[in-house]
A and B are shown apart, each in its own frame.
Chain A
Amino acid sequence: MSDEAIDLAVFSELRSTVGAEFVADLVGTFCDDAAGILVQLREAAEVGDEAKYKRAAHSLKSNANTFGAGRLAAIAREIELGGLSPDAATKVANLGAEFERVAGRLKELAHGGR
Protein backbone atom coordinates (compact mmCIF):
# COMPACT_ATOMS: atom_id res chain seq x y z
CA MET A 1 0.00 0.00 0.00
CA SER A 2 1.33 3.40 -0.92
CA ASP A 3 1.66 6.20 1.61
CA GLU A 4 -0.57 8.32 -0.61
CA ALA A 5 -3.93 9.02 0.97
CA ILE A 6 -5.53 8.79 -2.48
CA ASP A 7 -4.73 6.47 -5.37
CA LEU A 8 -4.60 8.95 -8.25
CA ALA A 9 -5.38 6.31 -10.85
CA VAL A 10 -8.68 5.50 -9.12
CA PHE A 11 -9.49 9.16 -8.62
CA SER A 12 -8.91 10.18 -12.22
CA GLU A 13 -10.85 7.15 -13.45
CA LEU A 14 -13.77 8.34 -11.33
CA ARG A 15 -13.45 11.81 -12.80
CA SER A 16 -13.42 10.61 -16.36
CA THR A 17 -16.45 8.43 -15.67
CA VAL A 18 -18.76 10.96 -14.06
CA GLY A 19 -17.08 14.32 -14.70
CA ALA A 20 -14.70 16.51 -12.67
CA GLU A 21 -17.40 18.91 -11.55
CA PHE A 22 -19.60 16.13 -10.26
CA VAL A 23 -16.65 14.57 -8.43
CA ALA A 24 -15.89 17.93 -6.76
CA ASP A 25 -19.48 18.02 -5.47
CA LEU A 26 -19.28 14.40 -4.44
CA VAL A 27 -16.10 15.08 -2.44
CA GLY A 28 -18.00 17.79 -0.57
CA THR A 29 -20.85 15.39 0.15
CA PHE A 30 -18.41 12.72 1.30
CA CYS A 31 -16.59 15.05 3.69
CA ASP A 32 -19.86 16.18 5.28
CA ASP A 33 -21.39 12.73 5.34
CA ALA A 34 -18.32 10.87 6.57
CA ALA A 35 -17.98 13.25 9.52
CA GLY A 36 -21.48 12.18 10.54
CA ILE A 37 -20.66 8.50 10.02
CA LEU A 38 -17.59 8.89 12.24
CA VAL A 39 -19.81 10.34 14.96
CA GLN A 40 -22.14 7.33 14.63
CA LEU A 41 -19.16 5.01 14.78
CA ARG A 42 -17.89 6.56 18.01
CA GLU A 43 -21.36 6.49 19.56
CA ALA A 44 -21.86 2.87 18.58
CA ALA A 45 -18.47 1.94 20.07
CA GLU A 46 -19.36 3.70 23.32
CA VAL A 47 -22.75 2.05 23.79
CA GLY A 48 -21.61 -1.30 22.38
CA ASP A 49 -24.04 -1.32 19.42
CA GLU A 50 -22.11 -3.69 17.19
CA ALA A 51 -24.55 -3.76 14.26
CA LYS A 52 -24.47 0.03 14.00
CA TYR A 53 -20.69 0.02 14.51
CA LYS A 54 -20.13 -2.40 11.66
CA ARG A 55 -22.64 -0.69 9.38
CA ALA A 56 -20.94 2.68 9.85
CA ALA A 57 -17.53 1.17 9.11
CA HIS A 58 -18.96 -0.63 6.09
CA SER A 59 -20.35 2.63 4.76
CA LEU A 60 -17.01 4.42 5.15
CA LYS A 61 -15.13 1.54 3.55
CA SER A 62 -17.42 1.66 0.55
CA ASN A 63 -16.93 5.42 0.04
CA ALA A 64 -13.20 5.25 0.68
CA ASN A 65 -12.87 2.68 -2.11
CA THR A 66 -14.88 4.89 -4.45
CA PHE A 67 -12.31 7.70 -4.14
CA GLY A 68 -9.26 5.45 -4.07
CA ALA A 69 -8.58 6.07 -0.38
CA GLY A 70 -6.94 2.68 0.13
CA ARG A 71 -5.63 3.08 3.66
CA LEU A 72 -8.88 4.54 4.94
CA ALA A 73 -10.76 1.66 3.34
CA ALA A 74 -8.40 -0.86 4.93
CA ILE A 75 -8.89 0.54 8.45
CA ALA A 76 -12.66 0.69 7.96
CA ARG A 77 -12.66 -2.87 6.63
CA GLU A 78 -10.80 -4.10 9.68
CA ILE A 79 -13.45 -2.52 11.91
CA GLU A 80 -16.31 -3.86 9.78
CA LEU A 81 -15.06 -7.44 9.76
CA GLY A 82 -13.64 -7.43 13.29
CA GLY A 83 -16.61 -5.92 15.05
CA LEU A 84 -16.38 -4.45 18.51
CA SER A 85 -13.07 -5.20 20.20
CA PRO A 86 -11.32 -3.91 23.33
CA ASP A 87 -9.18 -1.61 21.17
CA ALA A 88 -12.20 -0.18 19.34
CA ALA A 89 -11.48 3.35 20.57
CA THR A 90 -7.94 3.23 19.15
CA LYS A 91 -9.17 1.92 15.84
CA VAL A 92 -11.84 4.60 15.61
CA ALA A 93 -9.21 7.24 16.43
CA ASN A 94 -6.95 5.89 13.67
CA LEU A 95 -9.83 5.94 11.28
CA GLY A 96 -10.65 9.53 12.24
CA ALA A 97 -7.08 10.63 11.67
CA GLU A 98 -6.86 8.91 8.30
CA PHE A 99 -10.16 10.44 7.30
CA GLU A 100 -8.78 13.94 8.03
CA ARG A 101 -5.78 13.20 5.81
CA VAL A 102 -8.02 11.82 3.02
CA ALA A 103 -10.48 14.71 3.25
CA GLY A 104 -7.66 17.26 2.96
CA ARG A 105 -6.14 15.52 -0.05
CA LEU A 106 -9.50 15.03 -1.77
CA LYS A 107 -10.33 18.73 -1.42
CA GLU A 108 -7.00 19.63 -3.01
CA LEU A 109 -7.59 17.22 -5.86
CA ALA A 110 -11.17 18.34 -6.33
CA HIS A 111 -9.98 21.91 -6.80
CA GLY A 112 -7.58 20.92 -9.52
CA GLY A 113 -4.50 20.13 -7.39
CA ARG A 114 -2.26 17.18 -8.14
Chain B
Amino acid sequence: MAAGEARVLIADDNKVNRLLLARMVELLGHRVAMAENGRVGLETLRKEAYDLLLLDIDMPEMDGFTVLEEMQSDSRLRDVPVIVTSAREGIDNVVRCISLGADDYLPKPVNTVLLKARIGACLEKKRLRDEQRAIVQRFATPEVAEELQKTGFALGGQRVHATVMFCDIRGFTTMVETQPPEETIDVLNTYYTLMFDAIGSHGGVVNQMIGDGLMILFGAPSPLKNCAASAVAASLEMHEMMAQFNTERALEGKAPVRIGIGIATGNMVAGYTGTHRRATYTCIGDTVNLAARLEAHTKDVGRGILIDQATQLDIPQSHPTEPLGAIKFKGKAANENVFAVTVPSEKVAASKIGSPSKKRTRPHPRT
Protein backbone atom coordinates (compact mmCIF):
# COMPACT_ATOMS: atom_id res chain seq x y z
CA MET B 1 0.00 0.00 0.00
CA ALA B 2 2.96 2.29 0.62
CA ALA B 3 3.16 3.23 -3.04
CA GLY B 4 -0.54 2.69 -3.76
CA GLU B 5 -3.63 4.74 -3.57
CA ALA B 6 -5.71 4.49 -0.42
CA ARG B 7 -9.31 5.46 0.33
CA VAL B 8 -9.25 8.06 3.07
CA LEU B 9 -12.25 9.48 4.89
CA ILE B 10 -11.96 12.87 6.54
CA ALA B 11 -14.44 13.69 9.30
CA ASP B 12 -14.25 17.34 10.34
CA ASP B 13 -17.03 19.85 10.93
CA ASN B 14 -14.85 22.80 9.97
CA LYS B 15 -15.00 23.35 6.24
CA VAL B 16 -11.57 24.97 5.94
CA ASN B 17 -9.92 22.14 7.85
CA ARG B 18 -11.81 19.55 5.85
CA LEU B 19 -10.89 21.04 2.47
CA LEU B 20 -7.27 21.63 3.46
CA LEU B 21 -6.80 18.11 4.78
CA ALA B 22 -8.49 16.68 1.70
CA ARG B 23 -6.12 18.65 -0.50
CA MET B 24 -3.07 17.48 1.43
CA VAL B 25 -4.16 13.86 1.31
CA GLU B 26 -4.96 14.07 -2.40
CA LEU B 27 -1.53 15.54 -3.06
CA LEU B 28 -0.12 12.45 -1.34
CA GLY B 29 -1.83 10.37 -4.02
CA HIS B 30 -4.88 9.10 -2.15
CA ARG B 31 -8.59 9.28 -2.79
CA VAL B 32 -10.65 11.30 -0.34
CA ALA B 33 -14.22 11.40 0.90
CA MET B 34 -15.48 13.89 3.46
CA ALA B 35 -17.97 13.89 6.31
CA GLU B 36 -19.10 17.03 8.14
CA ASN B 37 -19.49 15.45 11.57
CA GLY B 38 -18.91 12.26 13.51
CA ARG B 39 -22.32 10.78 12.86
CA VAL B 40 -22.05 11.19 9.09
CA GLY B 41 -18.50 9.87 9.27
CA LEU B 42 -19.57 6.71 11.06
CA GLU B 43 -22.45 6.15 8.64
CA THR B 44 -20.08 6.55 5.71
CA LEU B 45 -17.63 4.05 7.22
CA ARG B 46 -20.42 1.53 7.63
CA LYS B 47 -21.53 1.95 4.02
CA GLU B 48 -18.19 1.86 2.23
CA ALA B 49 -14.76 0.44 2.88
CA TYR B 50 -12.00 2.89 3.80
CA ASP B 51 -8.31 2.35 4.45
CA LEU B 52 -7.96 5.24 6.86
CA LEU B 53 -10.00 7.77 8.83
CA LEU B 54 -8.74 11.26 9.64
CA LEU B 55 -10.88 12.27 12.58
CA ASP B 56 -11.52 15.58 14.26
CA ILE B 57 -12.52 15.62 17.93
CA ASP B 58 -14.77 18.66 18.41
CA MET B 59 -17.74 18.13 16.15
CA PRO B 60 -21.47 18.68 16.55
CA GLU B 61 -23.93 15.74 16.62
CA MET B 62 -21.21 13.19 17.39
CA ASP B 63 -17.71 14.02 18.55
CA GLY B 64 -14.52 12.14 17.71
CA PHE B 65 -14.35 10.30 21.03
CA THR B 66 -17.77 8.77 20.42
CA VAL B 67 -16.79 7.82 16.88
CA LEU B 68 -13.76 5.98 18.27
CA GLU B 69 -15.92 4.17 20.83
CA GLU B 70 -18.45 3.15 18.20
CA MET B 71 -15.70 1.88 15.91
CA GLN B 72 -14.21 -0.23 18.70
CA SER B 73 -17.51 -1.97 19.29
CA ASP B 74 -18.05 -2.71 15.60
CA SER B 75 -16.01 -5.69 14.43
CA ARG B 76 -16.05 -4.43 10.84
CA LEU B 77 -14.68 -1.02 11.78
CA ARG B 78 -12.36 -1.99 14.62
CA ASP B 79 -9.35 -2.36 12.36
CA VAL B 80 -9.77 0.76 10.24
CA PRO B 81 -6.78 2.91 11.18
CA VAL B 82 -7.63 6.31 12.66
CA ILE B 83 -5.46 9.39 12.85
CA VAL B 84 -6.96 12.05 15.09
CA THR B 85 -6.32 15.59 13.92
CA SER B 86 -7.31 18.20 16.41
CA ALA B 87 -6.47 21.67 17.68
CA ARG B 88 -7.46 20.52 21.17
CA GLU B 89 -4.79 21.20 23.69
CA GLY B 90 -3.68 18.94 26.51
CA ILE B 91 -1.94 15.60 26.60
CA ASP B 92 -5.02 14.03 28.23
CA ASN B 93 -6.90 14.35 24.93
CA VAL B 94 -4.12 12.53 23.09
CA VAL B 95 -4.08 9.79 25.73
CA ARG B 96 -7.84 9.44 25.58
CA CYS B 97 -7.81 9.08 21.78
CA ILE B 98 -5.05 6.49 21.81
CA SER B 99 -6.74 4.50 24.57
CA LEU B 100 -9.94 4.55 22.52
CA GLY B 101 -8.09 2.90 19.65
CA ALA B 102 -6.75 5.77 17.56
CA ASP B 103 -3.46 4.96 15.88
CA ASP B 104 -2.04 8.43 16.01
CA TYR B 105 -2.69 12.04 16.94
CA LEU B 106 -1.69 15.04 14.86
CA PRO B 107 -2.14 18.54 16.20
CA LYS B 108 -3.68 21.17 13.94
CA PRO B 109 -2.57 22.90 11.85
CA VAL B 110 -1.46 19.63 10.36
CA ASN B 111 2.10 19.51 9.12
CA THR B 112 2.13 17.87 5.70
CA VAL B 113 5.43 16.05 6.20
CA LEU B 114 4.20 14.51 9.45
CA LEU B 115 0.87 13.71 7.85
CA LYS B 116 2.59 11.84 5.03
CA ALA B 117 4.70 9.80 7.44
CA ARG B 118 1.77 8.93 9.70
CA ILE B 119 -0.52 7.99 6.81
CA GLY B 120 2.23 5.80 5.37
CA ALA B 121 2.75 4.04 8.69
CA CYS B 122 -0.99 3.52 9.24
CA LEU B 123 -1.56 2.12 5.78
CA GLU B 124 1.37 -0.24 6.13
CA LYS B 125 -0.03 -1.48 9.44
CA LYS B 126 -3.41 -1.96 7.83
CA ARG B 127 -1.89 -3.82 4.91
CA LEU B 128 -0.20 -6.26 7.30
CA ARG B 129 -3.42 -6.70 9.28
CA ASP B 130 -5.42 -7.36 6.09
CA GLU B 131 -2.81 -9.84 4.96
CA GLN B 132 -2.92 -11.68 8.27
CA ARG B 133 -6.68 -11.75 8.16
CA ALA B 134 -6.65 -13.18 4.65
CA ILE B 135 -4.26 -15.90 5.77
CA VAL B 136 -6.39 -16.74 8.79
CA GLN B 137 -9.54 -16.87 6.71
CA ARG B 138 -7.93 -19.31 4.35
CA PHE B 139 -7.81 -21.95 7.05
CA ALA B 140 -10.61 -20.90 9.35
CA THR B 141 -14.31 -20.24 9.23
CA PRO B 142 -15.27 -16.54 9.44
CA GLU B 143 -16.33 -17.01 13.09
CA VAL B 144 -13.02 -18.57 13.99
CA ALA B 145 -11.12 -15.92 12.06
CA GLU B 146 -12.89 -13.25 14.05
CA GLU B 147 -12.11 -15.05 17.28
CA LEU B 148 -8.46 -15.13 16.24
CA GLN B 149 -8.51 -11.44 15.42
CA LYS B 150 -9.85 -10.72 18.88
CA THR B 151 -7.47 -12.96 20.82
CA GLY B 152 -4.48 -11.98 18.76
CA PHE B 153 -1.49 -13.84 17.41
CA ALA B 154 0.60 -14.44 20.52
CA LEU B 155 2.82 -17.44 20.12
CA GLY B 156 2.33 -20.20 22.65
CA GLY B 157 -0.36 -22.61 23.51
CA GLN B 158 -3.09 -23.34 25.96
CA ARG B 159 -4.61 -26.60 27.05
CA VAL B 160 -7.91 -27.38 25.35
CA HIS B 161 -10.29 -30.28 25.11
CA ALA B 162 -10.86 -30.84 21.41
CA THR B 163 -11.29 -33.35 18.64
CA VAL B 164 -8.75 -33.81 15.87
CA MET B 165 -9.54 -35.30 12.48
CA PHE B 166 -7.19 -36.46 9.75
CA CYS B 167 -8.49 -37.16 6.28
CA ASP B 168 -6.89 -38.23 3.04
CA ILE B 169 -7.59 -39.76 -0.33
CA ARG B 170 -6.97 -43.47 -0.73
CA GLY B 171 -4.52 -44.34 -3.46
CA PHE B 172 -3.72 -40.72 -4.15
CA THR B 173 -0.18 -41.59 -5.21
CA THR B 174 -1.50 -44.03 -7.79
CA MET B 175 -3.91 -41.38 -9.03
CA VAL B 176 -1.06 -38.89 -9.44
CA GLU B 177 0.99 -41.47 -11.31
CA THR B 178 -1.72 -42.70 -13.62
CA GLN B 179 -3.63 -39.63 -14.71
CA PRO B 180 -2.65 -36.24 -16.17
CA PRO B 181 -1.72 -33.68 -13.48
CA GLU B 182 -4.50 -31.34 -14.69
CA GLU B 183 -7.06 -34.00 -13.89
CA THR B 184 -5.54 -34.59 -10.47
CA ILE B 185 -5.75 -30.89 -9.70
CA ASP B 186 -9.40 -30.92 -10.77
CA VAL B 187 -10.14 -33.85 -8.49
CA LEU B 188 -8.25 -32.21 -5.61
CA ASN B 189 -10.12 -28.94 -6.01
CA THR B 190 -13.48 -30.70 -6.00
CA TYR B 191 -12.40 -32.79 -3.03
CA TYR B 192 -11.29 -29.71 -1.10
CA THR B 193 -14.50 -27.84 -1.90
CA LEU B 194 -16.66 -30.72 -0.74
CA MET B 195 -14.61 -31.44 2.37
CA PHE B 196 -14.34 -27.80 3.44
CA ASP B 197 -18.07 -27.43 3.07
CA ALA B 198 -18.83 -30.48 5.22
CA ILE B 199 -16.18 -29.53 7.80
CA GLY B 200 -17.18 -25.88 8.03
CA SER B 201 -20.87 -26.68 8.44
CA HIS B 202 -20.02 -28.59 11.64
CA GLY B 203 -17.70 -25.95 13.07
CA GLY B 204 -14.43 -27.60 12.11
CA VAL B 205 -11.29 -25.69 11.20
CA VAL B 206 -8.93 -26.99 8.55
CA ASN B 207 -5.53 -26.09 9.89
CA GLN B 208 -3.23 -28.11 7.69
CA MET B 209 -3.33 -29.12 4.05
CA ILE B 210 -0.56 -31.30 2.71
CA GLY B 211 -1.25 -32.76 -0.71
CA ASP B 212 -4.55 -34.57 -0.28
CA GLY B 213 -4.12 -34.76 3.51
CA LEU B 214 -6.14 -32.54 5.80
CA MET B 215 -5.82 -31.93 9.52
CA ILE B 216 -8.99 -30.54 11.04
CA LEU B 217 -9.73 -29.23 14.52
CA PHE B 218 -13.08 -29.29 16.28
CA GLY B 219 -13.29 -27.28 19.50
CA ALA B 220 -10.20 -25.15 18.93
CA PRO B 221 -9.60 -22.26 18.75
CA SER B 222 -13.30 -21.72 19.55
CA PRO B 223 -14.94 -24.22 21.88
CA LEU B 224 -17.71 -26.41 20.48
CA LYS B 225 -20.56 -27.85 22.55
CA ASN B 226 -19.71 -31.41 21.63
CA CYS B 227 -16.60 -31.50 19.52
CA ALA B 228 -16.56 -35.29 19.15
CA ALA B 229 -20.14 -35.39 17.87
CA SER B 230 -19.46 -32.50 15.49
CA ALA B 231 -16.39 -34.24 14.10
CA VAL B 232 -18.21 -37.53 13.55
CA ALA B 233 -21.18 -35.76 11.96
CA ALA B 234 -18.76 -33.92 9.67
CA SER B 235 -16.96 -37.15 8.77
CA LEU B 236 -20.24 -38.80 7.78
CA GLU B 237 -21.15 -35.79 5.66
CA MET B 238 -17.72 -35.90 4.03
CA HIS B 239 -18.31 -39.53 3.03
CA GLU B 240 -21.79 -38.69 1.83
CA MET B 241 -20.41 -35.93 -0.38
CA MET B 242 -17.71 -38.18 -1.78
CA ALA B 243 -20.38 -40.81 -2.54
CA GLN B 244 -22.29 -38.24 -4.61
CA PHE B 245 -19.09 -37.14 -6.31
CA ASN B 246 -18.31 -40.77 -7.16
CA THR B 247 -21.77 -41.30 -8.64
CA GLU B 248 -20.99 -38.46 -11.04
CA ARG B 249 -17.56 -39.88 -11.78
CA ALA B 250 -19.06 -43.30 -12.45
CA LEU B 251 -21.30 -41.76 -15.14
CA GLU B 252 -18.13 -40.48 -16.81
CA GLY B 253 -16.57 -43.90 -16.52
CA LYS B 254 -14.05 -42.76 -13.93
CA ALA B 255 -12.81 -44.65 -10.90
CA PRO B 256 -14.20 -43.62 -7.51
CA VAL B 257 -12.20 -41.41 -5.16
CA ARG B 258 -12.18 -42.85 -1.65
CA ILE B 259 -11.24 -41.17 1.57
CA GLY B 260 -10.11 -42.38 4.99
CA ILE B 261 -10.79 -40.46 8.19
CA GLY B 262 -9.29 -40.84 11.67
CA ILE B 263 -10.74 -39.04 14.67
CA ALA B 264 -9.50 -38.72 18.26
CA THR B 265 -10.68 -36.65 21.21
CA GLY B 266 -8.81 -35.45 24.26
CA ASN B 267 -6.70 -32.78 25.82
CA MET B 268 -4.09 -31.06 23.74
CA VAL B 269 -2.14 -27.88 23.57
CA ALA B 270 -3.50 -25.45 20.99
CA GLY B 271 -1.92 -22.25 19.86
CA TYR B 272 0.42 -20.56 17.48
CA THR B 273 3.71 -22.15 16.73
CA GLY B 274 6.43 -20.73 14.55
CA THR B 275 8.02 -17.32 14.71
CA HIS B 276 6.47 -13.89 14.98
CA ARG B 277 6.94 -13.51 11.25
CA ARG B 278 5.44 -16.79 10.26
CA ALA B 279 3.26 -18.85 12.50
CA THR B 280 0.62 -21.48 12.17
CA TYR B 281 -2.25 -22.33 14.47
CA THR B 282 -2.13 -25.95 15.45
CA CYS B 283 -2.70 -28.51 18.17
CA ILE B 284 -0.05 -30.74 19.65
CA GLY B 285 -0.39 -33.79 21.83
CA ASP B 286 -0.97 -37.51 21.99
CA THR B 287 -4.53 -37.10 20.75
CA VAL B 288 -3.25 -35.55 17.52
CA ASN B 289 -0.85 -38.43 16.91
CA LEU B 290 -3.59 -40.94 17.66
CA ALA B 291 -5.94 -39.33 15.12
CA ALA B 292 -3.19 -39.55 12.48
CA ARG B 293 -2.56 -43.24 13.32
CA LEU B 294 -6.29 -43.99 13.12
CA GLU B 295 -6.51 -42.37 9.71
CA ALA B 296 -3.58 -44.47 8.45
CA HIS B 297 -5.21 -47.54 9.96
CA THR B 298 -8.42 -47.07 7.90
CA LYS B 299 -6.51 -48.57 4.97
CA ASP B 300 -5.51 -51.65 6.90
CA VAL B 301 -9.04 -52.45 7.99
CA GLY B 302 -10.83 -51.13 4.92
CA ARG B 303 -13.10 -48.79 6.87
CA GLY B 304 -13.95 -45.20 6.06
CA ILE B 305 -13.98 -43.69 9.55
CA LEU B 306 -12.08 -44.83 12.63
CA ILE B 307 -12.44 -43.17 16.03
CA ASP B 308 -10.88 -43.60 19.45
CA GLN B 309 -12.72 -44.51 22.63
CA ALA B 310 -13.00 -40.93 23.92
CA THR B 311 -14.77 -39.92 20.72
CA GLN B 312 -16.99 -42.99 20.80
CA LEU B 313 -18.13 -42.18 24.37
CA ASP B 314 -19.10 -38.65 23.38
CA ILE B 315 -21.19 -39.34 20.31
CA PRO B 316 -24.92 -40.00 20.28
CA GLN B 317 -26.38 -43.47 19.80
CA SER B 318 -27.69 -42.34 16.43
CA HIS B 319 -24.19 -42.88 14.99
CA PRO B 320 -23.74 -46.65 15.02
CA THR B 321 -20.17 -47.82 15.69
CA GLU B 322 -18.48 -51.17 15.64
CA PRO B 323 -15.67 -52.02 18.10
CA LEU B 324 -12.55 -53.26 16.36
CA GLY B 325 -10.75 -54.16 19.58
CA ALA B 326 -7.58 -52.84 21.16
CA ILE B 327 -4.86 -51.98 18.73
CA LYS B 328 -1.20 -51.20 19.42
CA PHE B 329 -0.14 -48.19 17.39
CA LYS B 330 3.43 -47.24 16.64
CA GLY B 331 4.76 -44.75 19.18
CA LYS B 332 1.96 -45.43 21.66
CA ALA B 333 2.70 -47.22 24.93
CA ALA B 334 -0.80 -48.52 25.58
CA ASN B 335 -3.23 -50.28 23.29
CA GLU B 336 -6.06 -48.13 22.00
CA ASN B 337 -9.66 -49.21 21.69
CA VAL B 338 -10.66 -48.47 18.13
CA PHE B 339 -14.17 -48.13 16.73
CA ALA B 340 -15.37 -47.95 13.16
CA VAL B 341 -18.22 -45.57 12.46
CA THR B 342 -20.76 -47.09 10.12
CA VAL B 343 -20.75 -45.17 6.86
CA PRO B 344 -24.03 -45.64 4.96
CA SER B 345 -22.43 -45.29 1.52
CA GLU B 346 -19.66 -47.71 2.50
CA LYS B 347 -21.97 -50.73 2.57
CA VAL B 348 -22.48 -50.42 -1.15
CA ALA B 349 -18.90 -49.61 -1.91
CA ALA B 350 -17.22 -51.93 0.63
CA SER B 351 -16.30 -54.48 -1.99
CA LYS B 352 -14.59 -51.85 -4.11
CA ILE B 353 -12.18 -50.54 -1.46
CA GLY B 354 -8.61 -50.82 -2.62
CA SER B 355 -6.04 -53.30 -1.41
CA PRO B 356 -5.76 -52.89 2.37
CA SER B 357 -2.14 -54.00 2.45
CA LYS B 358 -0.96 -51.25 0.12
CA LYS B 359 2.00 -49.35 1.61
CA ARG B 360 1.94 -45.59 2.06
CA THR B 361 4.45 -43.90 -0.15
CA ARG B 362 3.52 -40.32 0.64
CA PRO B 363 4.50 -38.32 3.72
CA HIS B 364 1.74 -38.04 6.23
CA PRO B 365 0.68 -34.70 7.67
CA ARG B 366 2.15 -34.28 11.12
CA THR B 367 2.05 -31.53 13.67
Contact = CB atoms under 8 A, between A and B. Distances in A.
A2 interface: no
Contact of B16 (A19, A26, A55, A58): A26
B13 interface: yes
B14 A18 contact: no
Interface in A34-65: 55, 58-59, 61-63, 65
A33 B15 contact: yes
Interface stretch (B19-27, B124-132, B200-208): B19-27
B20 A66 contact: yes
Contact of B109 (A55, A58, A59, A62): A62
Contacts of A33: 14-16
Interface size grouping (class) on chain B: 10 to 19
B58 A58 contact: yes
Contact of A63 (B14, B27, B88): B14
Given A17-B112, A55-B60, A63 B24 contact: no
Contact of A55 (B23, B24, B58): B58
B23 A62 contact: no
B154 interface: no
Nearest to B23: A18
Contacts, number: 47
A81 B90 CA distance: 11
Contacts of B89: 81
B108 interface: yes
B24 A59 contact: no
A30 B87 CA distance: 16
B58 to A, nearest CB: 5
Give the interface size bracket for A toward B: 10 to 19
Of the listed residues A22, A29, A58, A65, the one surrounded by the most CB atoms of chain B closer than 10 A to its CB is: A58
B14 A65 contact: no
A63 B60 CA distance: 17
B36 to A, nearest CB: 12
Interface in B14-68: 14-17, 19-20, 23-24, 27, 58, 60
B27 A62 contact: no
B68 to A, nearest CB: 18
Contact of A29 (B19, B60, B88, B109): B19
A61 B16 CA distance: 12
A29 B16 contact: yes
A62 B19 contact: no
A18 B21 CA distance: 10
A59 B14 contact: yes
A18 B58 contact: no
A62 B24 contact: no
B97 to A, nearest CB: 16
B71 to A, nearest CB: 22
Nearest to B108: A62
Given A19-B23, A62-B14, A63-B14, 7 more contacts: A18-B23, A26-B16, A58-B88, A59-B13, A65-B108, A65-B109, A66-B20
22 contacts: A17-B112, A18-B23, A18-B24, A19-B23, A22-B23, A25-B19, A26-B19, A26-B20, A29-B16, A58-B58, A58-B87, A59-B13, A59-B14, A59-B58, A62-B14, A62-B87, A62-B108, A62-B109, A63-B16, A63-B17, A65-B87, A81-B89
Please provide the 5 A-B residue pairs with the shortest distance between their CB atoms, ordered closest to farther: A62-B87, A66-B109, A63-B16, A18-B23, A30-B16
